[in-house]
């Protein structure tokens, strides 16, 4: 009886050692991966801060604008016109110092950049320098959160439709390789070389200026409808043109990419073997084509989701869509570094978390992948 229990004891010991080594491997990988991603985020955010500030040149521009604005304000203020020139000059200089202190221009660029970095890494986004929310708040968090729903509506509806429709049509084309529809998609794929805002301008000219069927821009009619249904219909009407421009600009090239990807897997030997066995075409697509490509599909879908945060900067600006894209465009124009850094750090964190989690997702969907191996 004692001899019979030895194999079972050895097997349990082997399982214990295997699980311990697996846990140690995953732990080492997790620490190493998180450390690498954090360093990457720090470097990326700091470079964003330095680029947004142009190495300190923006400070010079802002000081000149502050001096000119306040000097003109003091000279045109009737309350100061009876004062002596020296007194007015002294008042202007004091106001200039107060404004520079408010914008922290009295702090050296290196120190201020490091403060921006440390605050951003803690998600303490601070207050905007020149921009405000619709409620008049300068809090960067409120400014970004206020514009987020509009961007999620535009980018979410257009990009999700583009993603799933591209995969559906690509699968259909891979079944009918060489057909007239397949050749048509290939011939139209170069149209995606033009950006979405290019198509947006043409759509505005056709459907707004000429046909007068859809609005030129904005998110809702002015004044907005009183009923919820009317408001929703107004938003939908304003959503058509910017959403269509985003879809049209990438539709054919996206189908072409996925079609080529599916064709590569369709030509594998195990697919030919499955066809020879007489398996239904749907089962072959699901088990032998879609399943091996699942990691790539998941990667594209995950990156699509986090790209919703950035919005479509130029397209939103053309259509006056009140989202994160046009907010970032205005922040760049106003040299509002806190808003730029706030948007960047959130996207950087989202990207780092997504890249980290994808490695574990790959291990779940593909048994050939081992985390940290």
Residue 201 confidence class, pLDDT cut points 50, 70, 90 = very high
The alpha carbon torsion through 296, 302, 303, 308 (nearest 10 deg) reads 150
Beta bridge partners of 127: 139
Q: Say if residue 359's pLDDT is above 90.
A: no
Q: Which residue has the higher pLDDT, 366 or 160?
A: 160
What one-character DSSP code corresponds to residue 323?
Answer: S
Q: Which residue has the higher pLDDT, 366 or 42?
A: 42
- Locate tokens 């994808």: which residue? 358
- Check the CA dihedral 301-303-309-313 and report its sign: negative
- Locate tokens 């081992």: which residue? 370
**pLDDT tens for residues 328-337?**
999 888 888 8
DSSP-assigned states of every residue in 174-232: HHTTTSHHHHHHHHHGGGGGS-HHHHHHHHIIIIIIIS--S-SS-SS-SSPPSSHHHHH
Q: Say if residue 65's pLDDT is above 90.
A: no
Looking at residue 7, its pLDDT comes to 59
DSSP-assigned states of every residue in 24-48: HHHHHHHHHHHHHHHHHHHHHHHHH
**pLDDT tens for residues 46-63?**
888 888 877 777 788 888
Q: For residues 220 and 76, what is the distance between their CA atoms, to the nearest angstrom?
A: 39
**pLDDT tens for residues 270-329?**
777 877 888 777 777 777 778 888 888 888 888 888 888 877 888 999 999 999 989 999
The kind and range of the H/E element at 341 are: helix 337-365
- Tokens at 71, concatenated: 């000097």
- Check the CA dihedral 204-205-211-215 and report its sign: positive
Q: For residues 37 and 43, what is the distance between their CA atoms, to the nearest angstrom?
A: 10
Looking at residue 1, its pLDDT comes to 47
Which of these, 242, 197, 248, 245, lies nearest to 215 by C-alpha position? 242
Least confident of 62-66, 118-122, 366-370: 366-370
Least confident of 20-34, 161-175, 218-232, 300-314: 20-34
> pTM for the whole thing?
0.79
Task: Tell me how many helices (H) and strands (E) the chain has.
Answer: 14, 0
């Amino acid at each position: 009886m004692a001899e019979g229990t030895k194999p079972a004891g050895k097997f349990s010991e082997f399982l214990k050692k295997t699980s311990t080594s697996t846990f140690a491997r995953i732990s080492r990988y997790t620490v190493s991966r998180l450390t690498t991603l954090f360093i990457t985020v720090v470097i990326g955010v700091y470079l964003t801060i330095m680029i947004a500030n142009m190495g300190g040149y923006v400070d010079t521009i802002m000081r000149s604008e502050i001096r000119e604005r306040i000097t003109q304000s003091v000279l045109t203020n009737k309350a100061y016109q009876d004062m002596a020139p020296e007194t007015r000059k002294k008042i202007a200089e004091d106001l200039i110092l107060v404004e520079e202190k408010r914008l922290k221009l009295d702090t050296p660029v290196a120190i201020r950049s490091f403060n921006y970095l440390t605050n951003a890494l803690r998600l303490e986004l601070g207050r905007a320098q020149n921009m405000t929310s619709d409620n008049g708040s300068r809090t960067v968090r409120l400014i970004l959160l206020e514009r987020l729903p509009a961007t999620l509506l535009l980018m979410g509806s257009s990009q999700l439709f583009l993603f799933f429709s591209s995969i559906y049509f690509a699968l259909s084309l891979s079944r009918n390789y060489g057909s007239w529809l397949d050749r048509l998609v290939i011939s139209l794929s170069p149209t995606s070389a033009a950006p979405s805002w290019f198509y947006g301008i043409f759509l505005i000219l056709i459907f707004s200026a000429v046909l007068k069927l859809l609005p030129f821009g904005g998110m809702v009619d002015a004044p907005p409808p009183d009923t919820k249904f009317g408001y929703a219909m107004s938003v939908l009407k304003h959503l058509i043109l910017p959403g269509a421009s985003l879809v049209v600009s990438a539709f054919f090239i996206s189908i072409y990419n996925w079609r080529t990807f599916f064709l590569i897997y369709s030509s594998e030997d195990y697919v030919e073997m499955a066809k020879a066995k007489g398996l239904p075409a749907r089962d072959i697509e699901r088990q032998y084509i879609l399943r091996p490509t699942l990691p790539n599909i998941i990667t594209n879908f995950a990156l699509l989701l986090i790209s919703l945060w950035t919005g479509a900067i130029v397209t939103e600006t053309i259509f006056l869509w009140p989202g994160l894209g046009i907010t970032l465009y205005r922040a760049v124009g106003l040299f509002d570094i806190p808003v730029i850094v706030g948007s960047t750090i959130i996207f950087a964190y989202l990207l780092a978390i997504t890249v980290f989690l994808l490695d574990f997702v790959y291990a779940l969907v593909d048994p050939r992948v081992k985390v940290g191996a």
